[in-house]
Amino acid sequence: METVIILVFIGGYLAITLEHNIKIDKLIPALVMMAISWALISLGIDDFSQWFDTAKHSLMENFGALGHEEKMHLMEETLLHHLGKTAEILVFLLGAMTIVEIIDYFDGFSTIKSAVNFNSRKKLLWMFSILAFVLSAIIDNLTATIVLISILQKIVKDRDVRIWYAGLIIIAANAGGAWSPIGDVTTTMLWIGDKVSTGKLFVYLFIPSLLCMIVPTFIASLLKPFKGDLELQESDNKARSKFSSTMLFLGLGAIVFVPIFKVITHLPPYVGMMLSLGVVAIFAEIYSNSKFAISSAVSDEHHEHSSHSPVHYSLSKIELPSILFFLGILMAVAALESLGILFGFADSLKENIGLIGTEPTGTIVSDLVVLLLGVGSAVIDNVPLVAASLGMFSEPLDNPLWHFIAYSAGTGGSMLIIGSAAGVVAMGMEKIDFFWYLRKISWLALVGFIAGAIAFMGTRALF
């Protein structure tokens, strides 16, 4: 039965990676894979000889001796545990996405657009790279990419030039997301899973992530596409909301407050995100001068008011397919973890390639494994890779291994355009060709990835 579940996972995974070829959205195989995996576990619960105890992070000693009812009860408890952990991530993302959409509702990002009053290609490159690096750490790399490419489309006329900027934005956004607990889904997973803390994440990863952005940007600034001046789009005469700047700083400040809230209260991050969303929503409703319809009554008055609510409008703009995809993939990986498959794979990996060898050999080999994980995240989605690593390794909070995993999984995806959420959304917005990105941008991402990895090893030696 374990073999069948692994085959289901591999089949679903292939369907996810080939979504553009088979024309089926990746959320569909993710959800099907998750449901079938847990159904097979339930039907074959008596055939399994081991079970992974998530609380103790080890295999149960007497699972085979338990009765059918006890095993079913244990499975239900485990499923509920994983659903709770996954829901923490999903609710957190929903809150962050809604705040960003509220900022956009008030045209808050036009404040950034208005700062562009020059036409030097090199200056524009550095401006967008730095913005992508900073914004992705605050509002996550996916959202930062959407925002900056939207601004880019309003500034640069020539699409052939724009896609070069978009490529460097992907690299910078993924680099910026790696050192922030809210900058990338995978880093958020490690943070919420109590594998990394905000302070240590900054100490270990800020310089490597910065180099991962600076090195490719510097090399690109020497290339022909970024030499000379370019023709800028004429700014539109659309009236800006008088609250645009206020909502921009309020929204970004509310998101930045979330890690502080976690440190003070020791509550899960989604609680702080819901508080931040509530505060931003209050100001949004006041500024919009609309009445908030709490109920979904069919009354015409309620319907009219709700259609003018910035919060309701922002919620309708959220990318729900991404949320459902994360639900499916994380719960599918949880199925493999519960059966002890990932734990067993980690043990065999350690035994076969010497991951638990003596220093410095063990560290060198573990570094190689994590680097390969980074390269793997360019080929397949980094979310299940990090989810798998959570089940494979049992190192304590703030062990350098977790920080290196955060860096590799977060920035390695830049090497292929389908390797990160930022790349996929840029591909959709600018219709960037996979092979164009492979020829023109991938080598820049690889150079940045290696530079940051070397810097991480140096930082680790110091701390």
pLDDT over threshold 50, residue 355: no
- The band of 149, judged by pLDDT with boundaries at 50, 70 and 90, is confident
53 falls within a domain: no
Q: What's the confidence (pLDDT) of residue 459?
A: 86
Q: What's the confidence (pLDDT) of residue 175?
A: 95
Mean pLDDT of 94-109: 85
Mean pLDDT of 39-62: 80
User: DSSP class of residue 59?
Assistant: E
The number of folded domains in the chain is: 1
* Residue 91 to residue 93: CA distance in whole angstroms: 5
- The band of 134, judged by pLDDT with boundaries at 50, 70 and 90, is very high
CA-wise closest residue to 420 among 136, 206, 24: 136
| Single-letter residue type at 48 | F
- The band of 168, judged by pLDDT with boundaries at 50, 70 and 90, is very high
DSSP symbols for 166-192: HHHHHHHHHHHHHTSTTTSHHHHHHHH
Q: What's the confidence (pLDDT) of residue 351?
A: 59
- Tokens 């206020």 sit on residue: 246
pLDDT over threshold 80, residue 366: no
422 falls within a domain: yes
pLDDT over threshold 60, residue 117: yes
* Residue 319 to residue 145: CA distance in whole angstroms: 14
**Percentage of residues in the chain having pLDDT higher than 70:** 85
453 falls within a domain: yes
Report the C-alpha dihedral over residues 91, 97, 98, 99, rounded to 10 degrees. 110
307 falls within a domain: yes
Mean pLDDT of 48-70: 78
Q: What's the confidence (pLDDT) of residue 361?
A: 44
Instruction: Kindly report which listed range (203-217, 260-274, 284-298, 383-397) carries the lowest average pLDDT score.
Output: 284-298
User: DSSP class of residue 414?
Assistant: G
State the residue range of the domain holding 174.
83-463
* Residue 308 to residue 302: CA distance in whole angstroms: 10
148 falls within a domain: yes
pLDDT over threshold 60, residue 106: yes
* Residue 42 to residue 308: CA distance in whole angstroms: 46
Q: How long is the chain?
A: 463
Instruction: Kindly report which listed range (38-47, 106-115, 147-156, 437-446) carries the lowest average pLDDT score.
Output: 106-115
pLDDT over threshold 50, residue 100: yes
Give how far Cα 275 sits from Cα of 269, 278, 285, 314, Å.
10, 5, 15, 17
Q: What's the confidence (pLDDT) of residue 70?
A: 87
* Residue 462 to residue 391: CA distance in whole angstroms: 28
241 falls within a domain: yes
Residue 454's SS3 state is: helix
User: DSSP class of residue 447?
Assistant: H
Query: Tens of pLDDT along 379-412?
Result: 766 776 787 777 667 788 888 889 999 999 889 9
- The band of 45, judged by pLDDT with boundaries at 50, 70 and 90, is confident
pLDDT over threshold 70, residue 357: no
pLDDT over threshold 90, residue 128: yes
Burial of 130 (0-12, 13-18, 19+ CB in 10 A): middle
Mean pLDDT of 294-299: 44
Cis amide prior to 360 (ω within 30 degrees): yes
Q: What's the confidence (pLDDT) of residue 155?
A: 82
156 forms beta bridges with 232
Residue 65's SS3 state is: helix
Q: What's the confidence (pLDDT) of residue 304?
A: 43
pLDDT over threshold 90, residue 34: yes
* Residue 177 to residue 377: CA distance in whole angstroms: 15
Mean pLDDT of 169-182: 92
pLDDT over threshold 90, residue 17: no
What is the pTM assigned to this prediction? Answer: 0.73
Sign of the alpha-carbon torsion through 440, 326, 178, 249 = positive
pLDDT over threshold 90, residue 65: no
CA-wise closest residue to 288 among 151, 139, 107, 146: 107
Q: What's the confidence (pLDDT) of residue 221?
A: 93
pLDDT over threshold 80, residue 77: yes
Residue 255 · residue 103 · CB < 8 Å: no
Q: What's the confidence (pLDDT) of residue 216?
A: 96
329 falls within a domain: yes
Q: What's the confidence (pLDDT) of residue 352?
A: 60
Q: What's the confidence (pLDDT) of residue 282?
A: 94
| Radius of gyration, alpha carbons of the chain | 23
pLDDT over threshold 70, residue 92: yes
Structure token pair of residue 308: 């003018």
Q: What's the confidence (pLDDT) of residue 408?
A: 92
* Residue 448 to residue 457: CA distance in whole angstroms: 14
* Residue 351 to residue 43: CA distance in whole angstroms: 32
47 falls within a domain: no
Higher pLDDT, 317 or 299: 317
Number of H helices and E strands in the chain, helices first, is: 22, 2
Sign of the alpha-carbon torsion through 457, 453, 330, 197 = positive
- The band of 210, judged by pLDDT with boundaries at 50, 70 and 90, is very high
Sign of the alpha-carbon torsion through 79, 82, 87, 88 = positive
DSSP symbols for 358-371: STTHHHHHHHHHHH
| Single-letter residue type at 360 | P
Q: What's the confidence (pLDDT) of residue 441?
A: 94
Highest mean pLDDT among 34-38, 147-151, 385-389: 34-38
pLDDT over threshold 50, residue 297: no
Residue 401 · residue 370 · CB < 8 Å: yes
Cis amide prior to 208 (ω within 30 degrees): no
Highest mean pLDDT among 31-35, 250-254, 298-302: 31-35
Q: What's the confidence (pLDDT) of residue 256?
A: 81
| Single-letter residue type at 116 | V
Instruction: Kindly report which listed range (23-32, 121-130, 172-181, 446-455) carries the lowest average pLDDT score.
Output: 23-32
